[in-house]
Amino acid sequence: MDTTSLVAFALALGLAAAIPGPGIAAIVGRALGTGFRPTLPMMAGLIVGDLVYLSAAALGLGVIAASFGTVFVIIRWLGAAYLVYLAIRLWTAKPEHGVIAARTGGGPVSTFLAGLAVTLGNPKVILFYLAVLPTIVDLGGLTALAFAEMSAVVILDLVVVIGAYAALAARARRMFESAAARRRLNRLAGASMMGAAAAIAARG
């Protein structure tokens, strides 16, 4: 792939990823509630979801994907339901005074699947890969090397953007050490995840 197209793709994806949406809300809520490290599986799920749609676009599966609207609706609702579950866990957690210890609120596998479901059910991501991407990159002449380059860009872009949000949220949570502050932080994280769930459920 020529450098100009690859750079244009990287910039467009970076901008799209940086715009707060359900994925960012879920990541911020997770990092606020658990810290940075337990957020990594959700980050991985979000990235894999993007790679799924990149692959679909590269293989010309846009029309096929569009015909499976019911599947994506189910995925979206499952992702929203799991975020609601995490939100309730955080909202009802009983904080203790002292150094904040991360609350996992779900194992790595379930957290990864939550991130994957958030991306697969996110209309913004679907629109980017199946409608916007073809206007940036000539998918008809895409080679295996070009696809590998684009995949690397997806991983790098999302690690930087999503990682930055997660790191800032995780750093912010360290400012809260009293029980009362912890309670407020948990509820803020819970509200963030609940908002992400509502955004996912409301988008058609």
pLDDT tens for each residue of 60-114:
765 555 555 566 566 667 666 766 776 676 667 665 444 334 444 568 888 898 8
CA-to-CA distance for 130 and 45, rounded, in angstroms?
Answer: 19
> Running along the chain, 204 residues long, what does each successive block of 10 average in pLDDT?
86 85 84 86 94 86 55 64 69 53 64 88 79 79 88 95 90 64 65 66 59
pTM: 0.70
- Residue linked to tokens 């991407």: 133
Coil, strand, or helix at residue 79? helix
HSE of 175, CA atoms in CB hemisphere, 13 A: 8
Q: Cβ–Cβ contacts within 10 Å for residue 166, how many?
A: 24
Amino acid at 196: A
